[in-house]
Amino acid sequence: MRRNGVVVRVPGKVNLQLSVGPLESDGFHEVTTVFQAVAIYDDVTVKFAPPGSGITLNISGSTMHGVPTDSSNLAYRAAQLMIDLHDLDSDISILIKKEIPVAGGMAGGSADAAAVIVAFDALFELGLSRDGMEKIAAELGSDVPFAITGGIAIGRGRGDQLTPVLARGTYNWVLAMAPQGLSTQSVYNECDRLRTGLDIARPQVGDQILQALRAGDAELLGKSLSNDLQAAACSLRPALRLVLDVGIDYGALGAVVSGSGPTVAFLVQDEERALDLTVALSASGVVAGVMRTTGPTHGARVIETL
């Protein structure tokens, strides 16, 4: 009996480290990053639709504002790519229930694209391996493969060449949201402007961050958080510096702008400290919203068959 649809749950991410190489002739930057999937999820439902309806995309959820529902959406592009690659039925309905912040440096759009790939594999019983799905995901964007993998991984190249990281423990995060998102391209452009004339080395993973993850040492990990795009994000959005200061003043082990921002991720010792920092940030008036979460968590996976 043919399935009518599937629901896939997919996590957001924080970048524990993001090192950015110089601007290359093709307009891209080599990056080395350490991803951690965190337990803030979008649920993506993919179902067969009536003949002739094509791909339809609908958005709901607490962070749905501003998310496109046309072919510019990465989830839509993922569906079209899967249809073209595997010659599949093109009448598909996609419903995304969003909880991952939009344009917040947490790969919300990439996560939805990853979920669509996993959903198509299950719905059409394609039998793709994780590696196979990750290769398809890499055609859509640098963060999409990690959303399939989850856990903790090093990303190289454009961020899409993944190596799992041996890690222990669960980490407590407080995420401070900004009232408006930041364009990834604008942040990279500002990073290039700020680094004009500087000799930029090839990006490498720091030994200290890998040591912290192997040991499950949250305090050492807090000291190891780094992001080469943070100065650029703060330059474009100066209020982020105040957010970072508030978190550290209230006892965070470390703070980092996630990805291209503007979400600020604070690592804290435990749930009690997470609650204290959430209250302090909420009362400070410098953030639009606060979320508590933990990591690492699984990548995109089917949670329901319809």
| CATH number of the domain residue 251 falls in | 3.30.70.890
Q: Where are the alpha helices (DSSP H) in the chain?
A: 74-86, 108-123, 130-138, 144-149, 184-194, 207-215, 218-224, 230-236, 239-249, 271-284
Q: What is the pLDDT of residue 268?
A: 98
Residue 301 in domain? no
pTM (2 d.p.): 0.94
Q: Encoding tokens for residue 67?
A: 């998310």
Residue 303 in domain? no
Among 13, 47, 97, 98, the active-site one is 13
Among 43, 112, 143, 160, the active-site one is 143
Look up the domain containing 194 and give its range.
Answer: 171-295
Determine the residue type at 261.
G
Residue closest to 262 by CA, chosen among 145, 141, 181, 174: 181
Q: Are residues 161 and 177 in the same domain?
A: no
Residue holding tokens 């993919």?
46
Does residue 121 have an active-site annotation? Answer: no
**Nearest-10 crossing angle of helices 130-138, 108-123:** 130
Residue 302 in domain? no
Pairing of strands 55-61, 92-98: parallel
Q: Are residues 37 and 103 in the same domain?
A: yes
Residues of the chain with pLDDT under 70: 1
Q: Are residues 60 and 155 in the same domain?
A: yes
Boundary of a domain, candidates 113, 144, 165: 165
The C-alpha torsion from 144 through 145 and 147 to 153, rounded to 10°, is: -130
Q: How far apart (Å, rounded) are the C-alpha atoms in residues 102 and 43?
A: 14
Pairing of strands 226-227, 5-23: parallel
Q: How far apart (Å, rounded) are the C-alpha atoms in residues 246 and 30?
A: 32
Q: How far apart (Å, rounded) are the C-alpha atoms in residues 155 and 172?
A: 22
Q: How far apart (Å, rounded) are the C-alpha atoms in residues 213 and 199?
A: 30
The total number of structural domains in the chain stands at 2
Q: Are residues 145 and 203 in the same domain?
A: no
Boundary of a domain, candidates 146, 165, 184: 165
Residue closest to 228 by CA, chosen among 252, 194, 253: 194
Q: Are residues 15 and 135 in the same domain?
A: yes
* Alpha carbon distances (Å) from 214 to 30, 74, 168, 211, 218: 25, 34, 6, 5, 11
Q: What is the CATH number of the domain that holds 60?
A: 3.30.230.10
The C-alpha torsion from 216 through 150 and 106 to 198, rounded to 10°, is: 70
Residue 62 in domain? yes
Q: Encoding tokens for residue 159?
A: 């961020």
Q: Are residues 115 and 229 in the same domain?
A: no
Q: Which residues sit opposite 11 in a β-bridge?
A: 41
Does residue 87 have an active-site annotation? Answer: no
Q: Encoding tokens for residue 60?
A: 């709901």
Boundary of a domain, candidates 141, 165, 189: 165
Residue pLDDT, tens place only, 123-142? 999 999 999 999 999 999 99
Residue 304 in domain? no
Q: Are residues 151 and 284 in the same domain?
A: no
Q: Tell me if residue 197 falls in helix, strand or coil.
A: coil
Residue 124 in domain? yes
Q: Are residues 77 and 210 in the same domain?
A: no
Residue 187 in domain? yes
Q: What angle do CA 205, 207, 209 make, to 5 degrees?
A: 80
Determine the residue type at 298.
H
Q: Are residues 146 and 176 in the same domain?
A: no
Q: What is the pLDDT of residue 103?
A: 76
Q: Are residues 149 and 235 in the same domain?
A: no
Residue 79 in domain? yes
Q: Are residues 79 and 222 in the same domain?
A: no
Q: Are residues 255 and 140 in the same domain?
A: no
